[in-house]
Structure 1
Amino acid sequence: MTEQKQKLEQQLWNIANTLRGKMDADDFRDYILGFIFYKYLSRKMDLYANEILKPDGIIYQDAEKHPESEALLSAIKDEALDKLGYFLLPSELFSELARRGNAGGKNNFILGDLAAVLNHIEQSTMGSESEEDFGNLFEDLDLTSSKLGKSENDKNELIVKVLSHLEDIDFDIANTENDLLGDAYEYLIGKFAAGAGKSAGEFYTPQEVSSVLAKLVTTGKTKLKNVYDPTCGSGSLLLRVAKEVEEVSEFFGQESNPTTYNLCRMNMIMHNVHYKRFDIYNEDTLVNPSPKHSEMRFDAIVANPPFSANWQPDKIINDDRFSAYGKMAPKSKADFAFVQHMVHQLDDNGTMAVVLPHGVLFRGAAEGHIRKYLIEDRNYLDAVIGLPANIFYGTSIPTCILVLKKKREHTNNILFIDSSQHFEKVKTQNMLREVDINKIIDTYTNRITTDKYSYVATLQDVAENDYNLNIPRYVDTFEEEEPVDLAAVAKELKAINTDMEATNATIANFCNQLDIDTPF
């Protein structure tokens, strides 16, 4: 399985690089992921339609030639819209477009047909339950862009080449026992993030960090009613939570960037999450939260919000999410605004884990007031976990994870973990290893004090520190230097001095022989 997975990942990355020389990382990411998604939808459509037509001895690719094609395709469309959420005609399948583009070994013009097909996928959902989940999914695949080539023929030649290469790859979608393509899709998103620089943090959380967050919110649970991410990016965090339990019934998220919002919905579908089981909303979470989500409470909440982002608290004065605290997070640092939002959405028996910059642990003024309220008035803070610096794409700052619960098992203490020195350096990036992840989770689960790594602080300890959560106040990582043997140092200095005197004498002798002044 691992070998097959690695082979698929490498094949897809090689095809992605066909586009790489033409455009920057963000652009060629959108094209290649969009085309992979189109092939996935086509293959799912073909498999499902063939299943329906099997009793009639018809294959879907011949359905448009059938004497009763109109009635046949209408019936298939109705069933496909309910089961898959979209519909494609046999002539609109990926394999058919790839074949037409290469027919006769020529570069046949298919750009117009391809644009029409992608548009029709979205149109096929109009008025159906899945309309919101498929609307504008392909809007970032601009087939008229000059980035694809100077002339229409140049653009067409590049697209035909990419489609042909993708057509040669077996996505193994019929095998429901694995999620090879979903994992490969995640792999590609990660590769694009590694090359996207500062913008990477907008759509991707490194898998190792996602794993930590997912394990934290699922500790002691095998099933989740729902999971929520208010800054969901590409959806990798939401999907990671599903890997830690037997079942997640529903996925909810919000994302302000339209391109990333599309990527998230594609990612959900590519991981076989049925359109009825996820709801992703495209708006600013803090200022315009989803009306549907606002009424809900979630079993698990995970997030990697943009660090210390600007926001507009003036637009939401008297909002229930923030009013109880008596203070709003600063305009230039939205970190605690995201925490407050997540706490508001958390179910009474739920767990939330959020990645934040270290400043949230000790900054004063409004942030200090909010921090104190969460601990003293609500007693929601369960753990503070320090992560290594330079583990996120686009920023090298050290970060931390806050774990909060409304009904804590350990009501008289807060666990502090310092994992900042536990990582492996891979090229220019630091990475959490499996052993590092396991140590964090084991320490959190067993809630233990470990010398120079973790400390179970009483609420009184925290109050005495004026609710400053800076980890070194609780976890002493100071390494004592070995005592200096002054007698040995004095002896060594005396020996060095003796050697210097001998060397000076040798130099003076050479200078006398050369009849020049000595340099000392």
Structure 2
Amino acid sequence: MTQDINFMTKTKALIDNLKSVCANYGLGNDGNEFKIITQVFLYKFLNDKFRYAVKQENPKLADSESFSAALKELSDDDYSDLIDLLDPNIPRLQPEHLISHLFTKQNDDDFAKLFDDTLRQISIDNAEVFSVKSFTGAKDTLFDELSQYISDSSQRDAFCKALINKLFEFSFEEMFEQKYDFFATIFEYLIKDYNTDSGGKYAEYYTPHAVARIMAQILVPEPVKQVKCYDPSAGSGTLLMSIAHQIGEDNCTIYSEDISQKSSNMLRLNLVLNNLTHSIPNIIKTNTIALPSYLDTKFDYIVSNPPFKLDFSDFHASLDKDAFKKRFFAGIPNIPKSKKESMSIYLLFIQHIMHSLSDTGKAAIVVPTGFITAQSGIERKIRERLIDNGWLRGVVSMPSNIFASTGTNVSVIFLDKKADSSKIVLMDASKLGEIVKENKNQRTILTSSEEAKIIETFNDKTAIEDLSVVVSKEEIATKNYSFSAGQYFEVKIQYTDISAKEFEDKMKTFETNLNVLFSESKALEIEIQNNMKSIKI
């Protein structure tokens, strides 16, 4: 545990130092700071991952005084053989690509050009594994020419030199000796200053870890192998990382779509940090609703925290084509005359997810709580389909303000193509949690014991007073297809035995109280009438 905290402290210090360099060269809070920080951090991580993997294959290199010099001394054939032995997910680097090599060259003329050229060549050599694709198939670059973000060209060499010196100060290699669980925290720390969606597209970059864990542990209560997991609005990948850890990184392949280039790059970094590099080629930057890349692919597990409201009037007409009729079975929300930004795009994501499930597929979707009780429209049609098909496993209504970025009350619906329709779990967890202040806002945090209670109650299909009910799909149909646990809780009437004399006394008391109230009402009425007469005069 002490070593774990030590590594965490050092890693956070590296991030802070990189931000300090950016600030010193006028890029603090600049729009390009995000790219510099995340890409330089990724370069450092890949550099150390490569060094560690090579030393594992050839321990003699670990004893060399200069690792990069020892690599250079290998013949072309020996170096090629060494690279071929590496896991496909390990980056392919040349000796001159290493941070240690650049560190020795930092005082050379045009060091910024050398720095940019190095990152460019790494991008080219590793494009097959590390590139994020768009819907058209075009691949982005792993790294940008970072020195170009410094407008004063005379400062570029010094800027790149400062970055290399910070990267050289410590190594991730010791962290690879065993599996650490803190990379989710490191990722969150890395992006915390940039975790906003300035483009207004695809809502959340970040889902609370408690919600992500609950979704994953309810979705995957038992071990599974070789499954495909998907998020159609992936953001930075919190939900995907959680379910991948629950399943085991070696037992699943991740697929994702998101319209935001920024979030796609965040997700790539998240996959690298969490030992899921093999899934990077499956990240697609696209408009999932209008231009889905995985329309005909079926998935074993789907997790999603889709945007709830979004103006999609620009591509509304394109959704009504024959190819999408089966997908959007319940309909497409109309374009309102005003407040187009309030269009309920999440209803399209729910239908897309239902369409994308395999024959034994399971899904967990964050929805506004209003969805589970709406009595008409697309919401009602979706709920009817889920019940009639026997796909609803259950619903958990979360506490208010559990999401930092929305005040909307949310619920999580759990779908399962093989659900037990005689035992559907509806849970009202809205009264759980502890309220904490974050800046000027309030958030509700679930305790570890509350998380465990939600997961255990749901998976065990247990009915607990004022928390959960277990109902059949027939019962839900008779309740107008409501998914709200509160509508199924028993109404309790307390009975008290009293004598005839006690009953008579109580009735007299009620009568006396009523007479007093009627008298007061009459007096007040007369007073009002008198006041009205005086006003007229």
1:508 corresponds to which residue? none
2:395 corresponds to which residue? 384
Please state how far the C-alpha of 1:334 moved relative to its aligned partner.
1.5
1:275 corresponds to which residue? 278
Contact 1:63 1:73 in 2 (8 A): no
| Counterparts in 2 of 1:373 and 1:263: CA distance versus 1, 3 Å | same
Residue 419 of structure 1 pairs with residue 422 of structure 2? no
Contact 2:230 2:254 in 1 (8 A): yes
| Counterparts in 2 of 1:394 and 1:95: CA distance versus 1, 3 Å | farther
Please state how far the C-alpha of 1:26 moved relative to its aligned partner.
6.5
The amino acid that maps onto 2:268 is: R
Please state how far the C-alpha of 1:402 moved relative to its aligned partner.
0.6
Please state how far the C-alpha of 1:165 moved relative to its aligned partner.
2.5
Residue 15 of structure 1 pairs with residue 23 of structure 2? no
Query: What secondary structure sits across from 2:121 in the alignment?
Result: helix
Residue 119 of structure 1 pairs with residue 133 of structure 2? no
Q: Distance in 1 between matches of 2:324 and 2:333?
A: 14
| Counterparts in 2 of 1:392 and 1:163: CA distance versus 1, 3 Å | farther
The amino acid that maps onto 1:417 is: M
**Aligned partner of 2:100 among 95, 98, 101:** 95
Q: Distance in 2 between matches of 1:25 and 1:427?
A: 28
Contact 2:12 2:189 in 1 (8 A): no
1:231-250 to 2 correspondence within 5 Å?
231-246=233-248, 247-250=250-253
Residue 401 of structure 1 pairs with residue 412 of structure 2? yes
Query: What secondary structure sits across from 1:175 in the alignment?
Result: helix
Query: What secondary structure sits across from 1:144 in the alignment?
Result: helix
1:504 corresponds to which residue? none
Contact 2:230 2:303 in 1 (8 A): yes
Please state how far the C-alpha of 1:326 moved relative to its aligned partner.
4.9
1:437-516 to 2 correspondence within 5 Å?
437-475=451-489
1:254 corresponds to which residue? 257
1:61 corresponds to which residue? 68
Q: Distance in 2 between matches of 1:347 and 1:25?
A: 44
Q: Distance in 1 between matches of 2:452 and 2:256?
A: 27
Bigger mean CA offset, 305-314 vs 398-407: 305-314
2:305 corresponds to which residue? 304
The percentage of counterpart residues that share the same residue type is 20
| Counterparts in 2 of 1:137 and 1:387: CA distance versus 1, 3 Å | farther
Q: Distance in 1 between matches of 2:181 and 2:327?
A: 46
Contact 2:384 2:481 in 1 (8 A): no
Please state how far the C-alpha of 1:109 moved relative to its aligned partner.
5.6
Residue 214 of structure 1 pairs with residue 216 of structure 2? yes
The amino acid that maps onto 1:267 is: N
Q: Distance in 2 between matches of 1:250 and 1:242?
A: 8
Q: Distance in 1 between matches of 2:148 and 2:98?
A: 21
Q: Distance in 2 between matches of 1:284 and 1:324?
A: 16
Please state how far the C-alpha of 1:400 moved relative to its aligned partner.
0.8
Residue 363 of structure 1 pairs with residue 374 of structure 2? yes
| Counterparts in 2 of 1:389 and 1:139: CA distance versus 1, 3 Å | farther
The amino acid that maps onto 1:314 is: A
Q: How many pairs align?
A: 470
Please state how far the C-alpha of 1:478 moved relative to its aligned partner.
11
2:360 corresponds to which residue? 349
Contact 1:197 1:394 in 2 (8 A): no
Q: Distance in 2 between matches of 1:83 and 1:186?
A: 23
Please state how far the C-alpha of 1:216 moved relative to its aligned partner.
1.6
Q: Unaligned stretches of 5+ in structure 2?
A: 336-342, 495-508, 514-537
| Counterparts in 2 of 1:268 and 1:296: CA distance versus 1, 3 Å | same
Bigger mean CA offset, 257-266 vs 274-283: 274-283
Please state how far the C-alpha of 1:12 moved relative to its aligned partner.
3.7
Give TM-score, length-normalised by structure 2: 0.76
Please state how far the C-alpha of 1:158 moved relative to its aligned partner.
4.4
The amino acid that maps onto 1:32 is: I
Q: Distance in 1 between matches of 2:198 and 2:449?
A: 28
Q: Distance in 2 between matches of 1:184 and 1:94?
A: 25
| Counterparts in 2 of 1:216 and 1:180: CA distance versus 1, 3 Å | closer
Q: Distance in 2 between matches of 1:285 and 1:417?
A: 30
The amino acid that maps onto 1:275 is: H
Please state how far the C-alpha of 1:77 moved relative to its aligned partner.
5.5
Contact 2:99 2:167 in 1 (8 A): no
Bigger mean CA offset, 53-62 vs 109-118: 53-62
Q: Distance in 2 between matches of 1:454 and 1:90?
A: 60
Q: Distance in 1 between matches of 2:169 and 2:329?
A: 58
Query: What secondary structure sits across from 1:307 in the alignment?
Result: coil
Give the superposed CA RMSD. 3.7
Contact 2:368 2:409 in 1 (8 A): yes
Query: What secondary structure sits across from 1:232 in the alignment?
Result: coil
Contact 1:25 1:192 in 2 (8 A): no
| Counterparts in 2 of 1:423 and 1:30: CA distance versus 1, 3 Å | farther
Please state how far the C-alpha of 1:385 moved relative to its aligned partner.
1.0
Query: What secondary structure sits across from 1:83 in the alignment?
Result: coil
Give TM-score, length-normalised by structure 1: 0.78
The amino acid that maps onto 1:328 is: I
For residues 170-228 of structure 1, give each alpha carbon's deviation from its aligned partner in whole angstroms, at most 9, with x where no partner exists.
Answer: 31356342236734532324634678899795322221111111112102334452211
**Aligned partner of 1:46 among 38, 48, 51:** 51
| Counterparts in 2 of 1:204 and 1:30: CA distance versus 1, 3 Å | farther
Contact 1:336 1:367 in 2 (8 A): yes
Please state how far the C-alpha of 1:125 moved relative to its aligned partner.
3.3
Contact 1:252 1:280 in 2 (8 A): yes
Residue 29 of structure 1 pairs with residue 30 of structure 2? no
Query: What secondary structure sits across from 2:431 in the alignment?
Result: coil
Please state how far the C-alpha of 1:448 moved relative to its aligned partner.
2.1
Contact 2:432 2:446 in 1 (8 A): yes
The amino acid that maps onto 2:465 is: D
Q: Distance in 2 between matches of 1:91 and 1:280?
A: 29
1:435 corresponds to which residue? 449
Please state how far the C-alpha of 1:358 moved relative to its aligned partner.
1.9
Contact 2:15 2:41 in 1 (8 A): no
Contact 1:231 1:304 in 2 (8 A): yes
Q: Distance in 1 between matches of 2:149 and 2:305?
A: 32
The amino acid that maps onto 2:273 is: M
For residues 79-114 of structure 1, give each alpha carbon's deviation from its aligned partner in whole angstroms, at most 9, with x where no partner exists.
Answer: 66x73464322122123334433x5xxx97632222
Residue 266 of structure 1 pairs with residue 280 of structure 2? no
1:167 corresponds to which residue? 168
Contact 1:360 1:367 in 2 (8 A): no
Query: What secondary structure sits across from 1:374 in the alignment?
Result: helix
| Counterparts in 2 of 1:449 and 1:55: CA distance versus 1, 3 Å | closer
| Counterparts in 2 of 1:173 and 1:198: CA distance versus 1, 3 Å | farther
| Counterparts in 2 of 1:450 and 1:50: CA distance versus 1, 3 Å | closer
Q: Distance in 1 between matches of 2:490 and 2:192?
A: 37
Q: Unaligned stretches of 5+ in structure 1?
A: 481-485, 491-520
